[in-house]
Structure 1
Amino acid sequence: MIKNKFVSTCLLTFFGLNITHAQLSNTKKIQLLAEESYQELLENYNSNDSKSDIETDQLYAKAFLLKAKEENNPIKIADAYYMLSDLYTKTSKNEQALAYADSIIAITKNKNNYSYPAKAHLLKAKILGSQSNFQDSMNELAEANKYANINKNEDQQYQIKYFIAILKSNLGQSEESLKLFKSIVEYYENKYQENREYENEYIRSLYAYGIAFNTSKKYDSVQKINDKAIQLSLRTNDSSYYNRLLLSSASVLYNKKEYKSSLDSIRKLQKISSSRSNNDATKNTINFLLGRIFYQQKKVDSSLHYLLKVDSFAFKNKFFFPSIRENYELLIQHYKKEKNIEKQLFFIDRLLLVDSILDNDVKYLSSQINEEYSKPNLILEKQQIIESLEKNNITKIIVLVILSVFVLLLVIIIIRNKKKQKIYQKRFQELLENKKSTETKITKEKEVQTNTQKKPKEIGISEIIVNDILKNLERFEENNDFLQSNISVASLAKRFKTNSKYLSKIINVHKDKSFSNYVNELRINYVIEELKINTKFRKYTIRAIANEIGFNTTEAFSKSFYKTTGIYPSFFMKQLEKQEISKKM
């Protein structure tokens, strides 16, 4: 694997150095890379963390896509689209990223996949949330939640919980947000202890937890969490969260009125990271913080420079957040002192518009926001152009309707899950009482009767050959040879000293099923009996059991178990354990 990775890297380097002579197009590079395995392409894609490698990442992603399209593999195509969408978010090309996310949803919504389309809905929620489009972001989270619950995908459920906590924080529901973040941090901390691959998620959850504490003005807690997250982030090659954590620390210092220390933290951040390494939202946050720091230090020109930058970015990108109100309060104060009525009224209008957007899109209103420049004061300064600013009741009704629908959907999902549990429990009892074994026995008796009734000419194979193969199959079943992995029609035919065509046809006619179904059902019937009588076997993981009885993947084993029994192996094993515990009690 390492050798292949090295070779592919050398290829790309060679292409880059000799492009003038070879005139090798990106299309040719992609075609050559597509000959690698999915795993190799993904590993090479993930190994490029810096933004300077975006073009290289695109080559790997497009090679992945080409390979998936040639094989007509919709899930792999979705994986490639996700890689490309992720690349576009890194370069702030959100429209292209959303387009790829929509394509993923279109091709996976009916595939009953464990990760998709919930993964794509989560991606859309993240992008829309970064644009302050909280209503659409919430809609995407609702869709993701529906699929994550159906698939019992715990990782996705916690990703959704993470975004809900952020939304609650933006809605001013600080205490609820902190409770959610606490459980999220605990979840990812446990995952991180089990698997270091969860490091990024753990750091991200700590960072967001700190932001929530900052909003709640619990500054000591923020710094404690930030220090822990910074230590973790220094161990990884990805410096994006380290930069954000420095910015979070700068924000805490500002809130504690330690303006010089806050400015020092920002300068440190700017020194260690180039302007290209920070996305637009991060740059805007830095500008917002600098504008406020310089205002408090009475550096008017510097403050004004950054405050105006924040205003320009907000309206150009439709990027509004609750604390941005302070930006306009400071601008209004400045122009009021300057007695610049035209500018003063201009930014009062801006502030009223921001209030309206926050009211309608974020549902965020609190006395703290309006403490210094409340709406009555703004209306008065506008020479009573507006007598009162009423809240939009229609928006509240829409929110209630959406929440009601969401609750109704959750109730429906819960009811459906309960029905499924009853069905699973019934099937478990049937398996426990050997009803399945009885059905298998009856089926075999019917097969014997059918076999005696069928004439050799009906399948076009000599009776001697048929009987010989059936005897071999009988020994195959008695000796549990079906537990061997990688059994194929060809390998078994070779063992029986016959040809694949004869073997396949005899199994189809006399066993009334395809070769793969025949072998898989034998394995499943075997493992059911083994799990019922062997308590040690029950302690194996699903993966270990799958390997033990000849399946190459856990997914293949689970699907085959469900197809044969109507329940999943994890459920069957849990029920067996429950019965064992109840017997001991």
Structure 2
Amino acid sequence: MRNSIIIICLFITSILFSQTNKNLSDDEFLIVRNKTRSFFNTNSDSCLFYINQIEKSKEKIHLAFAKGAKGNLISKNGKIKEAVVLYDEASNIINFLPKNKFNIENSILIHIYGGNIYKNAKSFSNALDVYLKAKQFAISINDEIQIGMINLNIGNIYYEIGNYEKAIKIYRLVDATIDANKLNVTQEDYFSKKAFVNFNLGVCYEAYFAKNRDNFKLLDSAFFFYDKTIKLYSNDNLYFKMNSLKNIGNIHFYKNELQKAEENYLNAYSISKENNNNLIEYSSVYNLGLIYYEKKEYIKALHYFHNVDSLYNLQKNLGLSEYVDANFKQAKIYNILKDYKKSLLYSNIYLKNSDKINQIKNVNIIEVNKKVNNIETKNEIQKIIQDNNSKIVMNKVFIGVFILIFILLITLVINRFYTKKRFNEKIEKLIKEYEDNTSIDSNVKNETPTVISIDNENEILANFKNLIDKKEHLKSDFTQQSVAKKIKTNTTYLSNIVNKHYQKSFSNYLNELRINFVINEIITNSRYREYTTQAIAESAGFKNADSFTTSFKKKTGITPFQFINEVKKRKET
């Protein structure tokens, strides 16, 4: 019934627009804009339909909104580059428009979409910059509601980097802001925003529990906010309803309340299938498979695990870990049912994909597969293959694979035994070196003068050191050419002076300064240790995480990830 209503509305809107084929008035634009926003999380096809209608308008602010909204929509499907281009185009348009209230209100939405695009790309530093730009616009027109929703997005960034306490604090402040401005918005808008905040609080508490498995009060808090979202605020917003039902199922599963978990997963599955939400459907069928597997209802479990395979093969951007674990469970079930040919088939699929699991971050499913150590699951598959050796010749290939894995594991254990002491000594030396501030010799060496005068040389050197003291070297545009220009010399003189006084090339000395800054921050700043590698790289002026990691390892002999982990261990003890 609901889908029929949506189709009818789309049909009528299509007729109206096709008949008029004229520029949209602002009032007409607002109607279509609100429809676009209402479908963002529930029906991407309907959302795209309304965006396409707005794109027909000749008004620049309408076109800018359409570009920003489309970028936000396609970024959810991994089309990040195209999305960034659309946001940049929208941003360029609004930069030259009059700063009246109508334009500012739409500029706020466009920059929020831009922040969402960068967040979907895991570029949290850029996302934060854009959200803050949107916030400045909202402050300029004193829009408390939008300020609150932008703060909510900023809270989401803290959630992404694992700072759950900070995220929860921001979410609660946003919730209070929404209540304080309840009379300034429609009831529908109020419920929508309350659903958004309460659902995010539930997600944050659930993720917080994943790091503190003994603290079941965190689960109780997550349940409270999910339940509140469903009962009070979700109304017709199926996105929050489906996700809340599924995540309450997660909570029951954590507590081993399988019957309640099953009921919630079935509800989420039913609604997601009816509304063509593949992501929720995929997660729900996987979780239902786990439920029936735990209950030893193997035929039902196979039904849902087969659905996992079908959905994954149709849409590869769904979670790989569910797909791999579903095939592992199917291999075990068919072995129990004595269908050895199918058991080997799913064993092969598992082996082919299991090593890819560490390349993804899964935030949408119950992490039940963590109950089983990866080595143990592979050993179970090996046992299945060995048991079936007399039945199917192909199993010899799998046995060879597992023997190779076993030898590799033994080799790794032996290698770790002999290298651990040297690794610890390297870490100790590195920490001590930087605690004593002896990592980089920044003292000027007294050498024979270069071809330029001593006064000029000293002036260039003093100006260069002044830039370093101001931490200008932590900016990505701090290059030999830009520095030479700033201190009014040429690159040849600058290069010679750096080589003379620091016995290093300009680029090597710059890398050492930056790496030294990072190491010092990691040792002294607990918050810095929680940053992503990309965020750390950007904070020190590196253009990307790869070049930063290469430079860090070249200087220290270890990766940034290894160093951060060792510092954390020492701080905890």
Q: Structure 1 length as normaliser, TM-score?
A: 0.50
Question: Given the superposition, is the C-alpha separation of residues 13 and 267 from structure 1 closer, same or farther in structure 2, using an over 3 Å criterion?
Answer: closer
Structure 1 CA distance, aligned partners of 2:170 and 2:151?
A: 10
Matches within 5 A, 1:502-521: none
Residues 401/35 of structure 1: CA separation in 2 closer, same or farther (3 Å cut): closer
What's the secondary structure of 1:383's corresponding residue? Answer: helix
- Name which of 540, 547, 550 aligns with 1:408: 540
Shift of 1:304: 0.7
Provide the rounded CA distance (Å) in 1 between the counterparts of 2:259 and 2:73. Answer: 36
Confirm whether residue 66 of structure 1 aligns to residue 82 of structure 2. no
Provide the rounded CA distance (Å) in 2 between the counterparts of 1:310 and 1:14. Answer: 31
Q: Distance in 1 between matches of 2:267 and 2:382?
A: 43
Of 153, 160, 165, which residue of structure 1 is paired with 2:159?
Answer: 165
On the 8 A contact 1:118/1:144 being kept in 2, the answer is no
- Structure 1's 361 and 59: CA in aligned 2 closer, same or farther, altered over 3 A? closer
Which of residues 300, 304, 307 is equivalent to 1:306?
A: 304
> Which position in structure 2 is the counterpart of 1:576?
none
List per-residue Cα deviations over 1:407-464 (Å, max 9, x = no partner). 22599xxxxxxxxxxxxxxxxxxxxxxxxxxxxxxxxxxxxxxxxxxxxxxxxxxxxx
Contact residue 192 and residue 199 of structure 1 kept, 8 A: yes
- The Cα shift of 1:246 comes to 1.6
1:226 aligns with 2:223: yes
The answer to whether the 8 Å contact 1:82/1:104 transfers is yes
C-alpha distance in structure 1 between counterparts of 2:272 and 2:135, whole Å: 41
Given that 1:253 and 1:261 are in contact with CA atoms closer than 8 Å, whether structure 2 keeps it comes out as yes
Retained in 1: the 8 A contact 2:158–2:164?
no
Matched, 1:103 2:86: yes
Return the match for 1:124 from 117, 121, 125: 117
Larger radius of gyration: 1
- One of 200, 204, 220 as aligned partner of 1:205: 200
Aligned residues of 1:158 and 1:184 also touching (Cα < 8 A): yes
Q: Matches of residues 88-99 of structure 1 in structure 2 within 5 Å?
A: 94=77, 99=82
Structure 1 residues 247-256 or 214-223, which shifts more?
Answer: 214-223
- Number of the residue aligned with 2:22: 31
1:185 to 171, 181, 196: 171
Cα separation, 2, equivalents of 1:339 and 1:186: 54
AA aligned opposite 1:406: E
After superposition, what is the alpha-carbon deviation per residue over 1:175-219, rounded to whole angstroms, capped at 9, x for unaligned? Answer: x45334423422322332333444243123123124315535455
Code of the residue aligned with 2:278 in structure 1: it is D
- Letter of the aligned partner of 1:201 in structure 2? F
**CA distance in structure 2 between the partners assigned to 1:78 and 1:339 by the alignment:** 61
Distance 1:31 1:190, change over 3 A: same
Partners of 2:236 and 2:65 lie apart in 1 by 23
Q: Which moved more, 1:107-116 or 1:337-346?
A: 107-116
The answer for the alignment partner of 2:358 in structure 1 is 359
Shift of 1:237: 3.7
* Separation of aligned partners in 1, 2:253 and 2:87: 42
> Which residue is equivalent to 2:265?
266
- Does the CA-based 8 Å contact 2:325-2:350 persist in structure 1? no
1:253 and 1:280 map into 2 onto residues whose CA distance is 23
Following the alignment from structure 1 to structure 2, what is the Cα–Cα distance between the partners of residues 180 and 355?
34
Matched-pair contact (CA < 8 Å) for 1:30–1:60? no
Distance 1:348 1:159, change over 3 A: farther
- Which residue is 2:130 aligned to? 147
Structure 2 residue ranges without an equivalent (≥5): 1-7, 96-103, 137-146, 183-189, 384-397, 414-514, 516-530, 544-573
Retained in 1: the 8 A contact 2:205–2:218?
Answer: yes
1:334 corresponds to which letter in structure 2?
Answer: I
Paired residue type of 1:304: L
What letter is aligned with 1:227? F
The amino acid of 1:108's aligned partner reads: S
**In 2 relative to 1, CA 296–213 (structure 1 residues): closer, same or farther, beyond 3 Å?**
same
How far apart, in 1, do the equivalents of 2:109 and 2:11 lie?
35
Which residues in structure 2 correspond to 1:249-264 (within 5 Å)?
249-264=248-263
Tell whether the 8 Å contact from 2:171 to 2:201 is kept in structure 1 after alignment: yes
State, as a whole percentage, how many aligned pairs show the same letter. 13
**Residues 168 and 204, structure 2, Cα contact 8 Å, conserved in 1:** yes
**Inter-CA distance 178–329: structure 2 relative to 1 (3 Å threshold):** farther
**Number of the residue aligned with 2:379:** 377
CA distance in 1 between partners of 2:321 and 2:74 (Å) = 27
Evaluate the alpha carbon distance shift between residue 331 and residue 47 of structure 1 in structure 2; reply closer, same or farther with a 3 A threshold.
Answer: closer
Q: CA deviation at 1:326?
A: 4.1
Label 1:262 to 1:281 Cα distance change in 2 as closer, same or farther (>3 A).
same
Q: SS where residue 31 of structure 1 aligns?
A: coil
RMSD, matched Cα: 4.7
State the 1:282 CA deviation. 0.4
* Kept in 1: contact 2:64–2:93 (CA 8 A): no
Give the 3 Å change call, closer, same or farther, for CA 138–13 of structure 1 in structure 2. closer
Q: Alpha-carbon deviations, 1:506-537, whole Å to 9, x = none?
A: xxxxxxxxxxxxxxxxxxxxxxxxxxxxxxxx
Asked whether the equivalents of residues 64 and 94 of structure 2 are also in contact (C-alpha less than 8 Å), the reply is no
Are 1:288 and 2:286 matched, yes or no?
Answer: yes
Q: Name the SS of the counterpart of 1:202 in structure 2.
A: helix
Query: How far off is 1:103 after superposition?
Result: 1.6
Q: Tell me how far apart the structure 2 counterparts of residues 159 and 263 of structure 1 sit (CA, whole Å).
A: 32
The match for 2:559 is: none
Paired residues in the alignment total: 363
Q: 1:280 to 1:223 in 2, by over 3 A?
A: farther
Instruction: Report the CA distance shift for 1:47/1:339 in structure 2 as closer, same or farther (over 3 A).
Output: closer
Other structure's SS at 2:399 match: coil
Deviations 1:232-282 (A, max 9, x none): 4433442421222122112222232222222223344456x3723251010
In structure 2, C-alpha distance between the alignment counterparts of 1:184 and 1:143, rounded to whole Å: 19
Q: Distance in 1 between matches of 2:361 and 2:380?
A: 21
**Cα deviation 1:370-406 (Å, max 9, x = unaligned):** 5275376268553242332679xxxxx9x98634422
Distance change >3 Å, CA 104–CA 274, structure 1 → 2 = closer
Asked if structure 2 preserves the Cα contact closer than 8 Å seen for 1:348 and 1:378, the reply is: no
Relative distance call for 1:120 and 1:39 in structure 2 (3 A) is: closer
Q: What is residue 525 of structure 1 aligned with on the other side?
A: none
Q: How far apart in 2 are the matches of 1:108 and 1:368?
A: 43
- State whether residues 30 and 63 of structure 1, in contact with CA within 8 Å, keep that contact through their aligned partners in structure 2: no
CA contact (8 A) 1:29 1:59 kept: no
AA aligned opposite 1:188? V
Offset at residue 334 of structure 1 (A): 1.6
Is the CA contact (8 Å cut-off) linking 1:30 and 1:62 kept in structure 2?
no
Q: Helix, strand or coil: the match of 1:66?
A: coil
| Counterpart code for 2:284 | I
Structure 1 residue 28, shift from structure 2 partner: 2.4
The CA deviation at 1:222 is 2.7
What pairs up with 1:506-585 in 2 under 5 angstroms?
A: none
Q: Verify the 8 A CA contact 1:304 1:331 in the aligned structure 2.
A: yes
Q: Deviations over 1:302-348 (max 9, x none)?
A: 10111122133335423226566543442232233245555444434
2:241 maps to: 242
Gaps of 5+ in 1: 1-11, 129-136, 169-175, 392-396, 412-585
Letter matched to residue 383 of structure 1: I
Distance 1:195 1:277, change over 3 A: farther
Q: Paired residue for 2:180, among 174, 194, 219?
A: 194
> Is the CA contact (8 Å cut-off) linking 1:222 and 1:252 kept in structure 2?
yes
Deviations, residues 477-505 of structure 1 (Å, cap 9, x unaligned): xxxxxxxxxxxxxxxxxxxxxxxxxxxxx
Task: Provide, for residues 105-130 of structure 1, a one-character-per-residue CA deviation record: whole Å limited to 9, x for no partner.
Answer: 3442696697487534443356x5xx
Q: Match of 1:533?
A: none
CA gap of 1:209–1:96, structure 2 versus 1, over 3 A, is: closer
Q: How is 1:389-468 mapped onto 2 (pairs within 5 angstroms)?
A: 402-409=534-541
